Amino acid sequence: MEVKFAQNSPTNQEMQDLLNGLELSSLTIQGKGSNSLLISYASAEDSVNQNVWKSISEKYADSVQSKVDYRDSSVSSELKSNSLWALFWAAIGIMAFIAFAFRKVSRPIESWKYGAGAVIALVHDVLITVGAFAVLGHFYGVEVGIPFIAALLTILGFSVHDTIVVYDRTRENLLRGSSKEAFPEVVNRSLNETLVRSINTSMTVIITLLALYIFGGDSIKNFALALLIGVTFGTYSSIFVASALLVTSYRMQIKN
């Protein structure tokens, strides 16, 4: 339920105290602008909605009920299922494409391991973003929806971009370098050659996302925040996770 007030809205705590007597399940209250509150709770009964609105309108006569949205469990389950499938097929597609693109550098490790390393790094980025929003949802009532899923898919696309840059330089150095140079040294040299570029590229995106989060509207703040977290850790994973996985895979291979 979104409620708009003629003057500044009451604080979240004031509204919480007002509605506590109704014993609402999973009650969360979020500010929306300077004069609106978004009130969420778990109930499918219209009488509960009427009691909530009655309590608010009696104390705040200048309040207006902007909108009321109902979300049942079937919609939530369908959104979760479709989101997981979207993320799964995106990851599979990325892995397949990288394995195909690196088919000419099957030494000293197979080309599919480049794709596997990229996907593991992507899973790392997505899990950190989801974990951050789980914490924000628990303590601050931040909700996830379609914009959040769009942000996760965007993170997949952007994060793999930095990883590909490192992997592509590794491929170039393998093809034109000496066969006597150890694979870990090739990866390390490739990483050093692309390090500044990766950081500079990501910083321009991070600065833009910060501006979007600070000055953007409430409707895109969570989207910008998810991207900000994902891009930041995506840069980290491209440098410290994806490349390290190649070397780890190589060392496991030579031990066998």
Q: Which pLDDT score, from 0 to 100, does residue 231 have?
A: 92
Partner residues linked to 25 by β-bridges? 42
Contact 15, 37 (CB under 8 A): yes
User: Do β-strands 25-31 and 36-42 pair in parallel, antiparallel, or remain unpaired?
Assistant: antiparallel
DSSP 3-state helix, strand, coil percentages of the chain (rounded to 5)? 70, 10, 20
Mean pLDDT of all residues in 184-208: 92
Give the SS3 label for residue 77: helix
Q: 73-255 in CATH: which number?
A: 1.20.1640.10
137-146 tens-digit pLDDT: 888 878 777 7
What is the mean pLDDT of the segment spanning 40-68?
A: 83
So what's the pLDDT on residue 130? Answer: 94
Structure tokens belonging to residue 224: 């910008």
- How many CB atoms lie under 10 A from the CB of residue 190? 23
Percent of the residues in the chain that have a pLDDT greater than 90, as a whole number? 26
Spacing of C-alpha 27 from chain mean position: 25
What is the C-alpha to C-alpha distance for residues 159 and 151, in angstroms, rounded to an integer?
Answer: 12
* Portions of the chain given CATH number 3.30.70.3400: 2-67
The pLDDT score that the predictor gives to residue 71 is 65
For the domain covering 2-67, report its CATH number.
3.30.70.3400
The per-residue pLDDT for 133 is 92
Which two three-digit tokens encode residue 143? Answer: 């909700």
- Tens-place pLDDT, residues 105-138: 767 888 888 889 999 999 999 999 999 999 988 8
* pLDDT at 77 (0 to 100): 73
Please give the pLDDT value at position 143.
75
Give ranges for CATH 1.20.1640.10 in the chain: 73-255
**What pTM does this model have?**
0.70
pLDDT score recorded for residue 106:
63
